[in-house]
Amino acid sequence: MKKVGIIGGSGFIGSYNTQKFLNEGYRVKVSTTDISKKEKYEHLLSLKNAEHLEIVQLDVENKQELSDFLQGCEIVIHGGTPFQLDVKDPKTELFDPTIKGTENFLEAIQKTSGIEKVVFIASVAAYNTNFPLLPENKTENDQIKESDMPFMSEQSHPYGQAKFIANQIVNKFIADNPNLSFEITSVSPVGVMGKSLSSRPDSTSTGIQFLFKNKIAPNPFIQMFYDNDIYWAVVDVADVAEAIYKAATTKNIHGKNYLLSSESYRVSDVTLMLNNQSPIGNPKTVYSNNLAKKDLGINFQPASVSLNSYSS
């Protein structure tokens, strides 16, 4: 059995990654930031094939812990960066764990033998830090593609900026190291929706769905979504896990970063679908998914499937 290490394997996306690799017959090592907080990962213990699951404590800013985590892994999935919108100290809460964590990880994998494939769970922010708003040079009639010049603004949310910078660090590492013994591939999901595998109350993705379903605005930023009825790009969490698995097991895609996106609907229609009602408007494809379809063979589920499943 091959072994996969999943940094951040108990979160919203990470839990689906853990489930997918266990189902595919892998031994799975999952990181958690605090092993004493069982409520963060205990839902994984009831997954099928959980006897092949190992959970260890890891701080991505600790180089020795990173090195220890990587030992024995042929595949490594890095999804261990924080996703939070309510931020008091961007440096310590977002920039350090995201950027320093990425730098430490790249240093560690270069020193670890036996690794065959690395997959970074990046973000749509790698292409547009303004998400869910459009880049300043785009209109609602445009489509955003991997070949576009990435858009970054220092006025964007710190999360978007941190993920953008981390992705640039990965790109530079790939360019500076042309003779790596392993492949690196990234995926950049848009708004990840669907049903959580856990009952954790701290999932930002689940929290966003709750806000949209009940049309709650805890701050002016979210209120602006409703006031302008912006387009929200949706991708199903299970489709993201499938794409990550395919990226991890497909050869000759080194250096690529795939946008993962299904349909985009206005927020008012997202609210309707989260309440199991039919949307009024028609969907758009704001973020192109053609490359993921072509290279990874992903058939993205309609947004209604993801949004309806949230409350099911």
What pLDDT shows up at residue 82? 64
What pLDDT shows up at residue 11? 92
What pLDDT shows up at residue 60? 86
DSSP 3-state of 303: helix
229 lies in some domain: no
201 lies in some domain: no
Q: Domain of 185?
A: 3-194+235-261
312 lies in some domain: no
- Looking at residue 12, which CATH number applies to its domain? 3.40.50.720
- CB within 8 A of 224, min separation 6: which ones? 230
What pLDDT shows up at residue 85? 66
Closest to 255 in 3D by CA, of 150, 161, 182, 190: 182
What pLDDT shows up at residue 87? 72
283 lies in some domain: no
202 lies in some domain: no
DSSP 3-state of 197: coil
What pLDDT shows up at residue 95? 85
Whether the predicted model's global pTM rises above the 0.85 cut? yes
Helices (H) and strands (E) in the chain, counts: 11, 10
Closest to 185 in 3D by CA, of 265, 144, 245: 245
250 lies in some domain: yes
Distance, CA of 131 to CA of 159 (rounded, Å): 10
What pLDDT shows up at residue 116? 98
**What is the number of domains present in the chain?**
1
Distance, CA of 265 to CA of 255 (rounded, Å): 30
Residue 75 phi, psi (nearest 5): -125, 140
Distance, CA of 38 to CA of 40 (rounded, Å): 5
Q: For the chain, which residues score pLDDT lower than 70?
A: 82, 84-85, 201-202, 312
Name all contacts of 45-49 with Cβ < 8 Å and 24+ positions apart. 47/18, 47/19, 47/22, 47/197, 48/19, 48/22, 48/23, 49/22, 49/23, 49/25
